[in-house]
Structure 1
Amino acid sequence: MDFLSDTLILSRMQFAFTAIFHMLWPVLTTGMAIYLVIVEGLWLKTKNPDYYHHARFWSKLYVLNFGIGVASGSPMAFQFGTNWAPFSESVGDFFGSVLGFEATMAFMLEAGFLGIMLFGWQRVNPTIHYIATICVAVGANLSTFWILTANSWLQTPAGGDFVDGKFIVKDYFAAIANPFMLKSVSHMFLATLETSLFVIGGISAWYILKKRHQAFFAKSFKIVLAVAIAITPLQIFVGHLSAEQVYHHQPTKLAAMEAQWETIPAGEKADWSLLAFPDEKTENNKWEITIPNAFPYILEFKSRLSEPVLGLKEWTPENRPRMVGLIYYSFRLMSGIAFVLVGVMLVSAIQWLRGKLSEENIIQQKWLMISWMWCAPLGYLAVESGWIVRCVGRQPWTVYGEIRTADAVSNLPAGDVLTSLTIFICLYTVLFFSALYFGSRIIAKGPKFDLPLPGDDKDLPVEVDSAQHIPDSRPI
């Protein structure tokens, strides 16, 4: 239990815990916001009330996730000042301003139009309401852009130099457009959308299996399936591009992702490790299942490596990632889930083409519906696993190659950090079960089909013209 007296380990645990918990909520809101834009657009185009009721129903789950995300995300920013003050002093001129952009440019846009999206159906013109919904979606996904820009800069710092331990910005746009930024933003955008699609599809499948509003939720199921047909294979391709950038810019992380201890020279064939048991003490894998000559194909779509793949032994233990097994299996969990979701999508698409997803036949697809229900949480696992690979694999650096994590932590008493970590665990546990409770209530109640349609004047409050005659109630 020595870690309980180590400020660095406790601060890392606290940030990891708050980040992993917080990530659960914006992952759904950013993707679901796009779905809300789709269904409201279909409502405006077709005037089919089902699409209107879809927008009203799913927006309840949206705002629940939004609220929990705000509550759980706020403490993360404060940790840069409390637990990671030396880091903030060193890179605050750039890193702090990018986080400020996320708050003022993205969060405020989302929060500012959220009220119109939720409560403005009978109060504003339908076109204005649709613009508000679009602004909410843009704000939510703009947050993804700025957060991934900031984190990508930690992976591949650019746009300036470190002078006496402080980052001096020379080209602000070059810092924003650092080598990791574009592919990282794309990968995360697709991850949030894919996760949201399978959550919406899984909930829709649950209603269909329960024979509740089958025709209604068959519509939402086929909407998310139509989008998933494009998104799920694209995500695998962009994920491969993200792995390629690790290959070129972060060789220590790639070696940990593949539990590769020995260097593979350029021009060689190499086996790919499917499963293994990495042992950091002996610096090898105790056992391993490999696919012969597959590594170059997986990494570069070639039969031989064009560049060497450096093994972990090329670096001293203090200069390479720890917890190699965690990084190795997190990467495989993320990648495996991506292929599972593609498989479920392909089976669903085939059944759709066969006419098995019509309103009359969809109830007969029991195992397909069950598979979508099981897939609902898989996107979360993939996202969390990806962030573990991204951040744990970056160690021992906070800013890759520039600032070591041990030099970035504040000089705080370990007991104080342990106390705050314990408080976070308790509060976030309450938030988690509260979200499950209220989310399950929303799902159990289902959509409200008696909500007035926009423009239905009989449901609007009656305005009294003060100039009209009002009978005098005084005694004659």
Structure 2
Amino acid sequence: MHGLTALELARIQFGFTVSFHILFPAITIGLACFLGFLEARWLLTKDTVYRTLYQFWVRIFALNFGMGVVSGLVMAYEFGTNWSFFSQFAGGVTGPLLTYEVLTAFFLEAGFLGVMLFGWSRVGPGLHFFSTVMVALGTMISSTWILASNSWMHTPAGYAIVAGKVVPTDWLAVIFNPSFPYRLAHMVIAALLSTALFVAASSAWQLLHGRAVPAAKKMLSLALWMVLITAPLQAVVGDAHGLNTLEYQPAKIAALEGHWNTAAKDDKGGFPLIVFGIPDMEREETRYAIEIPRLGSLILTHTLNGQIHGLKDFPKADRPNATVLFFTFRTMVGLGVLMILFGLLGWVLRRNGVVYRSRAFLRFAVLMGPAGLVALLAGWMTTEIGRQPWVVYGLLRTTDAVSAHTAGPVAFSLALFVVVYFIVFGVGIRYMLKLASAGPVADIHAHGHAQPYGPGTVGAVPAAVGAASARTAMAPHGQRNS
């Protein structure tokens, strides 16, 4: 860390903590919806396969939920310690939005989470299903408020600047700012897609190890249907999000496309899509560029001869880091294309009746398990790094938002976070993967049967997770994004 400034260290620290945190809410959102579907199907059909899958995945949900809450708490403190001038400037907007998240989503989740996790033997099936639905609804409401706050930082609206601070003048405009609908849809679909790939990987692992039971086949089937639906839908939403970004943050689009000159055209008009290259911020060019003529115009302007602003149209001080954005964006898009192909391949194999027996496809499903989360991280980096050098786009620069610290304390806290996070969350993630790889088959063997509503089911959730989930009702919750 030698030679880094306090600003650079603070940015690295927040990027590190948010990168860990965002993984857990994504799985929480997806699994909450999945559990609601499983319990609904169990109540409607009385098919014990759905009950078995619910009791298997609810344990992973509880563990993931607890890690999401704990990792989110750290971010709330970072706003006060490392980004105090941002809090002073924009707290009039971000503070109430995060408070609304606590008053609505957190109270809803905290009120029903205990019933969902421990009430299978204590309440009737109707109330238990209602609790599951309320927890799932809470995760969606939480995402709405968090994304409203973050989207406002990208496309601020409904405000006035009074005495150097942001004052809300129209809360509807603040919440439903220009980028909010696109970013909320993009995030929720990413969560559902990431969870579907995680579930598919778990079930494929079971089938590869000879556990060809109805539960493993059922969750693979459900996961593949979700991938088949959400992967192409995400591409459509991503395109709309890109057009919105082109309108409100054109420098970001120029950077992630690696385009420097507005008027640079190939011999047929329009501008090319740069498939590969290395954007050079000093030389103001994309080196070793491999281009497809006119495709860039077609994608970004939906015409063959449209143009976008090149990075040279923007002052150097206002340009985001094109070198980083170019590759994070292509990582996200490349994995997205792979997900679409995965979904289509699963559909073809299903029609041919071999989807559960093709070992090559099952291995592919296991490898695709982390793809959704990696794409989510790449997309988040593209969004947040692309906003630079602004914290609140066009209003507050990152250099003006950081607290007046020296580099030493920030470096020490960053090093401490790295050690603690890799130990604590490394153990948690490893245990979660162990549960997922064991599968519902192991659970049936352990208990002799899949447990119904009734006595003896409290142990379905690990005790440590139960204690952690109980503590969430007493913890400050402002920056959790689950």
Matched ranges for 1:407-426 at <5 A: 407-426=400-419
The answer to whether 1:328 aligns with 2:321 is no
Give the SS at the match of 2:353.
Answer: coil
Q: Distance in 1 between matches of 2:212 and 2:118?
A: 25
Secondary structure in 2 aligned to 1:415? helix
Give CA-to-partner distance per residue, 1:109-129, whole Å, 9 cap, x none: 223211111111111110110
| Partners of 2:202 and 2:437 within 8 A in 1 | no
Counterparts in 2 of 1:265 and 1:446: CA distance versus 1, 3 Å = closer
Q: 1:103 and 2:102 equivalent?
A: yes
- Quote the residue 1:277 is aligned against: 278
User: In 1, Cα distance between the equivalents of 2:27 and 2:177?
Assistant: 27
Separation of aligned partners in 2, 1:441 and 1:383: 23
1:206 CA drift (Å): 0.3
* Aligned partners of 2:48 and 2:450 also within 8 Å: no
Secondary structure of the structure 1 residue equivalent to 2:287:
strand
Contact kept, 8 Å, 1:110 with 1:139, in 2: the verdict is yes
Shift of 1:433: 1.8
**Aligned equivalent of 1:301:** 302
- The one-letter code matched in structure 2 to 1:339 is V
In the TM superposition, residue 318 of structure 1 has moved relative to its aligned partner by 1.3
Deviation track 1:414-440 (CA, whole Å, cap 9, x = no partner) reads 111111111111110012321233224
CA drift at 1:455: 4.7
Query: Contact 1:126–1:454 (CA<8 Å) still a contact in 2?
Result: no
Cα displacement string for residues 331-360 of structure 1 (whole angstroms, at most 9, x for unaligned residues): 011011111000010010111122224xxx
**Partner residue, 2:148:** 149
RMSD: 1.8
Per the alignment, residue 350 of structure 2 pairs with 352
- Distance in 2 of aligned mates of 1:230 and 1:441: 28
Equivalent residue number for residue 163 of structure 2: 164
Residue type of the partner of 1:297? Answer: L
What secondary structure is seen at the aligned counterpart in 2 of 1:412?
Answer: coil
The aligned residue for residue 380 of structure 1 is: 373
Distance 1:441 1:337 in 2: 25
Q: CA deviation at 1:459?
A: 8.6
Count residues with an aligned counterpart.
451
Which residue number corresponds to residue 439 of structure 1? Answer: 432
- The gaps in structure 2 that reach 5 residues or longer are 459-482
Q: Is the alpha carbon distance of 1:46 and 1:417 closer, same or farther for their aligned partners in structure 2, counting shifts above 3 Å?
A: same
Q: Post-superposition shift, 1:458?
A: 9.4
The verdict on how the C-alpha distance between 1:320 and 1:127 changes in structure 2, with shifts beyond 3 A counting, is same
Aligned position for 1:472: none
- Match of 1:218, SS? helix
SS in 2 for 1:446: helix
Matched with 2:84 is 85
Q: Which residue of 2 aligns with 1:122?
A: 121
CA displacement, residues 218-266 of structure 1 (integer Å, 9 cap, x when unaligned)? 0011111222222111011001111111111101101111111111489
8 Å CA contact retained: 1:68, 1:431: no
Query: Which whole-Å CA distance do the structure 1 matches of 2:456 and 2:87 have between them?
Result: 57
State the SS of the aligned residue for 1:393: helix
Counterpart contact for 1:3–1:9, Cα < 8 Å: no
Match of 1:317 in 2: 316
Q: Structure 1 regions of 5+ residues with no counterpart? A: 461-476
Distance 1:458 1:237 in 2: 46
Once the two structures are superposed, residues 385-426 of structure 1 have per-residue CA deviations (whole angstroms, 9 ceiling, x without a partner) of 111111111011000001011001110121111111111111
The one-letter amino acid of 2:439's match is G
CA contact (8 A) 1:160 1:168 kept: yes
The verdict on how the C-alpha distance between 1:185 and 1:457 changes in structure 2, with shifts beyond 3 A counting, is: closer
Structure 2 distance, partners of 1:426, 1:455, is 42
